[in-house]
Amino acid sequence: MSFEPKILGIACNWCTYTGADLAGTTRLQYPQNLRVVRVMCSSRINPSFIFKAFQLGADGVLVGGCHPGDCHYNTGNLYARRRLAVTKKILEFSGMEPGRFRVEWISASEGNKFAEVVREFTEEIRNLGPQTKFKIS
């Protein structure tokens, strides 16, 4: 059986999640491998969510937030940018393939970008193969 990646998406309510909606309403095609969780802001994301997702078997984690400067709460994504950068470095130093975690800024009007990012990321994870390092069996 061919490998179908399981990808966790964590999207901010105001931009990326709305962007995903737009992708849907404009009938854009993108892979079904992404399961999206909506949060109110990218700064609400506890880094442990990402570690936990990998432990529970996610092959990749995609975080989406508003473009810097566009945060609904003015500065949330600016904090998130620093925090998630650290998460990325920690994952990398622990031995996880860096490509499995990605942060993208996608606005509510960027349905196209959302679909494009999901397509690209899914392909990348497909090439990386199943994530086994963190997964608890």
Partner 1 sequence: MATSFKQIEENLKTEAGKLLDAGKVSMVLAYGRGYDEKHPLPYVARSLADVDGMVFNEYCTANLARYLVRYPRGTKIGIAAKAADSRAVIQLIQEDKVKRDDLVILGIPVYGMKNAKTDEAIDAKTTCGLYNPVIYDVLLGEEVHGQPVLSPYEVLEKVEAMGQDERFAFWKKELDRCIRCYACRKACPMCYCDPCFIDQNKPKWGEKSPETGGNLMYHLTRFHHLAGRCIDCGECSRACPVDIPLYLFHKKVAKECEEMFGQAAGMSIDEKPALINFRVEDSDKILE
* Per CB under 8 A, 57 contacts partner 1: no
**Which of 32, 48, 109, 127 lies at the binding interface for partner 1 (CB under 8 A)?**
48
Judged by beta carbon, residue 28 or residue 52, the one nearer partner 1 is 52
CB 55, CB 44: distance < 8 Å: no
* Per CB under 8 A, 37 contacts partner 1: no
Residue 16: which H helix or E strand, with range? helix 16-25
Judged by beta carbon, residue 36 or residue 90, the one nearer partner 1 is 90
**Which of 69, 109, 127, 130 lies at the binding interface for partner 1 (CB under 8 A)?**
69
User: 123: which 2 tokens?
Assistant: 């392909």
Residue 99: which H helix or E strand, with range? none
Angle of CA points 31, 8, 4, to nearest 5°: 45
**Which of 3, 32, 38, 86 lies at the binding interface for partner 1 (CB under 8 A)?**
86
